Amino acid sequence: MTSPAFLLGVLFFGHMCTDIVQGSLPALLPFLKDRFDLSYAAAGSLLMAAHMTSSVIQPLFGYVTDRHPLPVLLALGCLVSGVGIALVPFSPSFGWLVAFVMFTGLGTAAFHPEGFKATACIVSERRATGMSFFSVGGNLGIAVGSPLAIFLVSRHGLRGASVLLLPAAAAALIFLPVLPAIRRRIHSVSAAPQANAMSDVKKPLYAVSLLILIVVMRSWTQLGLATYIPFLYKEKLASDPAYVATLLFLFFGAGTVGTLLGGPLADRFGHRRLLFVSTALQVPLLFVFLWSSGWLVFVMAALLGCTIVSTFAVTIVMAQEMFPRRMATASGAIAGFAIGTGGVGVTLLGVVADHYGVGAATHLINLLPATGAILALLLPLPWKTGDENGRGISRAEARAEVSSAAPPAS
């Protein structure tokens, strides 16, 4: 029961259960706003607290696990995030609410760097495709988290959100028997020589800085929409919770399709090319979504979710392949610092919403993917998984190029 496919399946399940918690937070904000009588900016600060916790700590977890692999963090991360969300409904004050929300971020910070590194070690060929499969678990978790939270709270009150502890605890238990096998996989890959076919990436620190900025724009776009969709349809949320739950499910759930498509397309056509096209497409899609009504709202929500998330696994792989000996740290920088700053974006949008209304804040979001597309054009080439024209090549082809380019042994 320790085949690569089985281990990847366990990682998939753990990622899904951990991110159910992350996906539930935006859907809980309208209920928490009413209970604690918060402004939009204060409500957004709750997400900032959760995401900043994971963003600050996640690269540190990555740095530690690159030096000393700690697969046990996979189980602990799931459990901590579940306990944190279970405590949120019982917060006696706003201060305790912030503390419990930050506790969920700690679980996210512990799980993700080791999860991304373990996946990279288990799937060595066509890494973007393998990383896409692992990432789909997170996409499903986020997609399920929002409607599940709305369902539980609408049926059982805010305390119903405590049920979200159950899937997180189940994932923690499932990880326990496979942790030794995951550790062996990580050790075997870490001890092997690294094939580095495209080590001549120009200005790698400049490149990874641009990549982080692009992911920040993507994160602000996704989390901003996830946060303000319930506020845009607040009347519907009160009269027909299923309407908003369905809208959020389509927005997040379509990210699963986007992730499944994004990895293979990046392996085929090049990471940089997919990153630019996907980001640029978000501009017209978001414009149409904000002016849509009726059934078109659901269609555009799904198309937006698919496009935004399609590059998630790709950006993780790009960072890992620039720093092959620091895969967990690189993953933490992208999935932690860059994505975690989405909470900052939501808070800033909350200030706009308080002064000019929710509609103005959501229309402002369209500037983010436009900026991301411009930054994608500035990324230097070549990439390790693409030639100078941006054509995708496999890792096996990359190694072959290294072998053919190496001087003959004397």
271-288 residue pLDDT tens: 888 899 999 999 999 999
> How distant is the alpha carbon of residue 71 from its chain centre?
20
CA distances for 109 relative to 9, 77, 78, 103, 165, angstroms: 21, 7, 10, 10, 17
CB atoms within 10 A of CB 53: 23
The per-residue pLDDT for range 72-91, each reduced to its tens digit, is: 999 999 999 999 999 999 99
Higher pLDDT, 117 or 170: 170
Residue pair 136/305 in contact (Cβ under 8 Å)? The answer is no
Q: Which amino acid is at 124?
A: S
d(CA 318, CA 187): 22
The CA–CA distances, whole Å, from 220 to 51, 193, 348 equal 11, 38, 10
Q: Determine the length of the chain.
A: 410
**Residue 182 pLDDT > 60:** yes
Per the CB < 8 A criterion, the answer to whether 267 and 129 are in contact is yes
What is the spatial distance between Cα 122 and Cα 5, in angstroms, rounded to a whole number?
9
Q: Are 294 and 247 in contact (CB under 8 A)?
A: no
* Top mean-pLDDT range of 81-95, 223-237, 334-348: 81-95
Tell me the C-alpha distance between 134 and 175, whole Å: 15
Mean pLDDT of the region 328-352: 76
List the structure tokens of 303.
């198309």
**Tokens 């399709």, residue?**
257
Mean pLDDT of 224-238: 74
Confidence of residue 2 (pLDDT cuts 50, 70, 90): confident
User: Which SS3 state, helix, strand or coil, does residue 358 take?
Assistant: helix
Tokens linked to 69: 């692999």
Distances (CA, A) of 261 to 84, 116, 249: 33, 19, 19
Burial of 191 (0-12, 13-18, 19+ CB in 10 A): exposed
The tally of CA atoms less than 13 A away on the side-chain side of residue 338 is: 26
**Using an 8 Å Cβ cutoff, are 313 and 262 in contact?**
yes
Residues 172 and 291: their CA atoms lie apart, in Å, by 43
Lowest mean pLDDT among 133-137, 216-220, 226-230, 248-252: 226-230
Residue 392 DSSP one-character state: B
Architecture of domain 4-403: Up-down Bundle (1.20)
Q: Which pLDDT band holds residue 369 (cuts at 50, 70, 90)?
A: very high
| Cα gap 21→17, rounded to integer Å | 7
Percent of the chain with pLDDT over 90: 28
* Residue 326 in tokens: 């620091």
Q: What share of the chain is helix, strand, coil (3-state, %, to 5)?
A: 85, 0, 15
